Structure 1
Amino acid sequence: MVRDWPQARDEVLYVLNVTRENRPQEISAWRPDVAGVVEVFHARFTAHAYPMHVHDAWTLLIVDDGAVRYDLNRHERATPGGTVSLLPPGVPHNGSPATAHGFRKRVLYLDMTQLDAGLIGPAVDTPDLADPLLRTQVGQLHTALADPGDAFEAESRLAFIGERLRGHLRPGDAPADPPPGPGVARDLRELLDERLREGVTLAEAARLVHAHPAHLVRAFSAAYAIAPHQYVTSRRVDRARRLLLDGVPPGEAAAAVGFHDQSHLTRHFKRIAGTTPGRYARYARGARPQGLQGLQEPS
């Protein structure tokens, strides 16, 4: 049975839930509106074996349950839990369950703007990376890609992941771009404030403040102790609170401050404010919780 698939996606490619000879399969795929990501693919297989095949994109794979064995460039490989596997484009590989109960995986297909052709050779030599931080970031990227409203977060996480992958594959290389100057974080903050409602892509922000996307995210996080996407979300929630206090319905407040829809506002509002926008609005209009009725403000 398919569970917890995103409610809204930019372009759903397919969702499949079948059971054949007591061998359940769960598959979901979509194309998000995030530059560099060709496809997101989630699957659970108990017995399916992929034949030898190739992709024209980079395959970034994490396994959440079980394990996958595969052949790449005539070498047998496996994806134990906790690793990140990166299979290069144009190189044949197969895949099959390495455990009796199969496997559950999440895959991102990335285009050549994220990782260039010069990394194909190193990826063939070392496709499986034991990097807990990278593994966590890839998982968080999948979560962000599940909601169209979290595209800016997805772009930020993808920039970090691309930089970390390049560091694994070409550890001796210097960064392609110079480090950002001291004013970059301030410039980005001003841009995010100015474009809070309509938003801005990470690529556009990097172009406007003249910094590499990954360096931009790092500089902002170092300067303000918060990631750019977290800053935007918290500012939007703050604005939504003011609108709710003014009697604006939650759905209108969500649109007014830049959230994708009301459910997008609700998810982030509850996480930050500890309650839903609707409940917050009811309290704001005078329906104070019973337990607070007798409390006096300090003099």
Structure 2
Amino acid sequence: MRRQAHLHGLETLSANYFRQNFKPHAHGEYIFGVIERGVHAVWCRGSMNFVPAGSVVTMRPGDVHYGGAADRSGWRQRMLYISEQGIRNILSDMADKEICRNLDFNAAFHATPSLARRFIMWHAMLHESSSSLARNVALDSIMQAILNELAPETIPEERRQPDGRILDAIEYLKSRVEEDVSLAELCVVAGLRRRQTISAFRRYTGLPPHAWHLQQKIERVKHLLRTGMSATQAAAETGFADQSHMARHFHAIVGMTPGTFARG
């Protein structure tokens, strides 16, 4: 379990359960999740459900539920817990106006393997990434995907999105390659809401902010390696957590290890 204080105080969970049996209980937050492996036997909204891998979970605050593993192999789940105010903030950001209503879904469990795969990918980034920008974009992507597929009536009609001062935001990020820049900072520079900033960034660069910033970091690493700097020092100079963190991203983007690149 990890708490993301800067993201509406939400919590993320990644867990493997084998012998866990939950007693009847409810949460004060919305729950969004996915069953990644196995089958979870869970009572909710008046009936027992056998929820297999590839299912997406959407529970409202106060939904009483209980259960455990459907068999001895257990189950693996990824969950996201977010307050009612946090949901209203997200909806307001998407709609570009104040939204006060609560969010609801027709069911608690959805057999949507495609959505589940996307949820797993973005949840892993939200749960594990050391980059503030990456976590912000991951949350936005999860909520956009869930709402588009399971509650499309909550998404406002598509209209031309403003660009604000997005070129200033791009330059701001480029000049801070070594820093962990937050989405909130970019929003101030661009003069846009969170969702608008991400969308405008994609339109102008072809990438969301965190991916574009990562590209700039790798370009700086390449330059430093060419000057003879060690991979360890180059990782530190560009704000990576450590050399292995840098090397993993370097190989994914450049197609070779930093050492091979330096020798070439």
Q: Please indicate, yes or no, whether the TM-score normalized by the shorter chain is above 0.5.
A: yes
Larger RCO of the pair (alpha carbons < 8 Å, separation 6+): 2
Larger Rg: 1
Structure 1 residues 259 and 107, CA, compared in 2 at 3 Å: closer, same or farther?
same
Task: Kindly indicate whether the alpha-carbon contact (under 8 Å) linking 2:187 and 2:194 is maintained by their aligned counterparts in 1.
Answer: yes
Amino acid at match of 1:259: F
TM-score by length of 2: 0.81
**1:274 CA drift (Å):** 2.1
Pick aligned residue for 1:63 from 26, 32, 35? 35
2:237 is aligned to 256
Question: Residues 222 and 131 of structure 1: is their aligned pair in 2 closer, same or farther, counting only changes over 3 Å?
Answer: farther
| Cα distance in structure 2, aligned partners of 1:276 and 1:113 | 45
Deviation at 1:237, TM superposition (A): 0.4
Q: Deviation at 1:269?
A: 0.8
CA contact 1:40–1:109 (8 Å) conserved in 2: yes
* AA of the residue aligned to 1:50: F
2:23 to 44, 48, 51: 51
Distance in structure 2 (CA, Å) of the matches to 1:112 and 1:251: 44
Aligned-residue sequence identity (percent) comes to 26
Bigger mean CA deviation after superposition, 267-276 or 218-227: 218-227
Pick the aligned partner of 2:44 from 57, 61, 72.
Answer: 72
Q: Is the 8 A contact 1:251 1:262 kept in 2?
A: yes
Contact 1:115 1:166 in 2 (8 A): no
User: For the structure 1 residues 211 and 177, does the alpha-carbon distance in structure 2 shift closer, same or farther, using more than 3 Å as the test?
Assistant: farther
Letter matched to residue 137 of structure 2: S
Aligned to 1:204: 185
- The reply to whether residue 232 of structure 1 matches residue 213 of structure 2 is yes
Amino acid corresponding to residue 192 of structure 1 in structure 2: L
Q: Deviations over 1:85-118 (max 9, x none)?
A: 0222232211222345221212222234541384
Contact 2:165/2:189 (<8 A) preserved: no
Q: Encode CA deviations 1:111-155: one digit per residue, 9 max, x unaligned.
A: 3454138435x23x3222344554233212232245442332121
- Report the CA distance shift for 1:167/1:274 in structure 2 as closer, same or farther (over 3 A): closer
Q: Is the 8 A contact 1:58 1:88 kept in 2?
A: yes
**Secondary structure of 1:119's aligned partner:** coil
* TM-aligned CA distance change 1:217 to 1:38, over 3 Å: same
Q: Which runs of 5+ in 2 are unaligned?
A: 89-99
Could you tell me how far apart the structure 2 residues matched to 1:250 and 1:237 are? 11
Q: Structure 2: which amino acid aligns with 1:233?
A: L
What is the letter of the counterpart of residue 63 of structure 2? V
CA RMSD of aligned residues (A): 2.9
Closer, same or farther: CA 53–228 of 1 in aligned 2, 3 Å = same
Quickly say closer, same or farther: Cα 1:89–1:212, change in 2 above 3 A: same
After TM superposition, which residue ranges in structure 1, 4 or more long, deviate above 6 angstroms? none
Aligned mates of 1:92, 1:231 — CA distance in 2: 42
- The aligned amino acid for 1:217 is I
Q: Report SS of the residue matched to 1:66.
A: strand
Conserved 8 A contact 1:149-1:264: no
User: What TM-score comes out, normalization by structure 1 length?
Assistant: 0.72
Q: Give the structure with the larger helix fraction.
A: 2
Q: How does 1:1-299 map to 2 (within 5 A)?
A: 29-32=1-4, 35-36=7-8, 38-116=10-88, 118-120=101-103, 122-123=104-105, 125-167=106-148, 170-175=151-156, 180-183=161-164, 185-281=166-262, 283-284=263-264
